[in-house]
Amino acid sequence: MRSEPFFHTIAELAALLDAGKLSSVELTKAVVARTKAVDARVKAFNSYDEDDALAQAAASDARRSTGQVRGLLEGIPVGLKDVISVANQPLTASSRMLANFISPYDATVTQRLKRAGAVLWGRLNLDEFAMGSSTENSAFGPTHNPWDLSRVPGGSSGGSAAALAAGEAVATLGSDTGGSIRQPAALCGVVGLKPSYGLVSRYGLIAFASSLDQIGPLTRTVEDASIMLGVIAGHDPFDSTSCQTEVPDYRAALAEKRGPWRIGIPQEYFGEGLDPEVGAAVEQAIAFYRSRQCVIKEVSLPHTQYCLDTYYIIATAEASSNLARYDGIRYGHRTAEAVDVGELYCKSRAEGFGAEVKRRIILGTYVLSSGYYDAYYLRAQKVRTLIRRDFLNAYQDVDALLTPTSPVPAFTLGEKTNPLAMYLCDIYTIGANLAGLPAISVPCGFTGGGLPIGLQLIGQPFREAELLPIAHCYEQAHDWHTAHPKL
């Protein structure tokens, strides 16, 4: 199935590179050629620099030839969502506001990928400032789902998921504030991991909602996700919310931990709005775990009904504050027309931001304004505590929770015109962000029409080493992850 190098996993490619059967330059050339062949249709990339990537690959091959292999990512092309800073490369957040911005420094995750020998390849499309679930909010045009080009790849990390599914990168990084890694992973048939809040540094990530944002990997397999997480995780003094926690060997944990596990099924995640084909695939996955002697236990997360409201108060409040810095003064778009500084702020922001970003700034400013703060923002913070408590209570009886990732498979471009309909895409993913929990989406089947379906497993805080083996166990017994779209 995986004949072309660009459809191989990190683990497979590392073995080929080690054995001298492939060089990083050959691999990178294959990925570049694949990108040139398909990206006019997929549109996963905002930009890429072929010469730069090939120079990184040549440097990697040179290191390898002198025995200086830095790790499993040595020589592997990894794509980054265009909100993660790479020194001297564009950093646009898919916004007109930053259309011409060049990052002056590396994000911590970028530094860590470089230190691990990865070849950084391209800037991947997203919903503007990571606000959306379809990548249609990109100022540069939407990304298309490689499994059906008339459909969305999900979002906001739609470029990261689509590029990976289409063989335009071997692994990618996304960011996840309310589902932006897991939902596009589900819709594109790849693995997506949102780590525990505080495990991966946010330094150098363009901020959307700082108490929810986490960077994480999109990969072909759970093993590759473990490898990527091992590289990017760990304390960083440049991010005050980064935790002082040890980083275990996630990959080794896959072989060590084999269950059986106690798996909780939150009843609130299987109600109205769940597509029957998605529901059936997830039921099959539950049956699989039962067949592996896992204890399947129905659990309740009673505050689930408040997740969406809570998220859209907290996320917009934080966004309105984070996005205040884009005023046309120090960087970003500046209007050509202002007569005074007030007009400069207003026009620069009016011209630079798209409609969804403006909607969020207005909503966020409203919920933080005096007279409304207590009724909305403060109350949402309290409800957030209750939501987190629901999860922690459930974990007294179970090791992980199992749910669908997205209530629906990939929908048609242009189909969801109502913002609330779009927000409902996140209904199963935002809980993990509000509670700070690790959560992974793994492929669990296809619809009759050939669209990928994703299964979500939500773990306990900072227990990625226990969550990943549960996902790995399922993946190893199925071959959904070995299928690739025909482009």
Task: Choose between 316 and 460: whose C-beta lies nearer to ligand GLN.
Answer: 316
* Residue 208 engages ligand GLN in binding (rule: CB under 6 A): yes
* Residue 178 engages ligand GLN in binding (rule: CB under 6 A): yes
CB contact set of 447 (below 8 Å; sequence gap of 6+): 275, 277, 278, 409, 453
- Positions in 300-319 near ligand GLN (CB under 6 A): 315
Distances in Å between the alpha carbon of 257 and those of 191, 250, 366?
A: 19, 10, 48
Shortest reach from residue 66's CB to ligand GLN, in Å? 41
Distances in Å between the alpha carbon of 77 and those of 16, 180, 456?
A: 14, 21, 26
Shortest reach from residue 429's CB to ligand GLN, in Å? 7
* Residue 197 engages ligand GLN in binding (rule: CB under 6 A): no
CA distance 444 to 451: 11
* Residue 160 engages ligand GLN in binding (rule: CB under 6 A): no
Shortest reach from residue 146's CB to ligand GLN, in Å? 20
* Residue 184 engages ligand GLN in binding (rule: CB under 6 A): no
Task: Choose between 126 and 473: whose C-beta lies nearer to ligand GLN.
Answer: 126
> With CB under 6 A, what is the number of residues at the site for ligand GLN?
13
Task: Choose between 132 and 332: whose C-beta lies nearer to ligand GLN.
Answer: 132
Task: Choose between 76 and 317: whose C-beta lies nearer to ligand GLN.
Answer: 317
Instruction: Kindly indicate which of the ranges 1-9, 37-45, 110-118, 178-186 contains the residues binding ligand GLN, using the contact rule CB under 6 A.
Output: 178-186
Of the candidates 83, 86, 152, 158, the one whose C-alpha atom is nearest the C-alpha of residue 119 is 86
Catalytic residue IDs? 81, 156, 180
* Residue 180 engages ligand GLN in binding (rule: CB under 6 A): yes
Among 77, 158, 179, 328, the residue binding ligand GLN under the rule CB under 6 A is 179
Shortest reach from residue 156's CB to ligand GLN, in Å? 4
* Residue 407 engages ligand GLN in binding (rule: CB under 6 A): no
- Positions in 115-134 near ligand GLN (CB under 6 A): 130-133
Residue nearest to ligand GLN (CB): 180
CA distance 223 to 228: 9
Taking CB under 6 A as the rule, which mask of x and - marks residues 241-280 in contact with ligand GLN?
Answer: ----------------------------------------
Q: Which two tokens stand for residue 250?
A: 């996630």
Taking CB under 6 A as the rule, which mask of x and - marks residues 133-152 in contact with ligand GLN?
Answer: x-------------------
Distances in Å between the alpha carbon of 157 and those of 55, 124, 162, 215, 219?
A: 27, 8, 9, 11, 13
What residue ranges bind ligand GLN (CB under 6 A)?
A: 130-133, 156, 176-180, 208, 315, 426
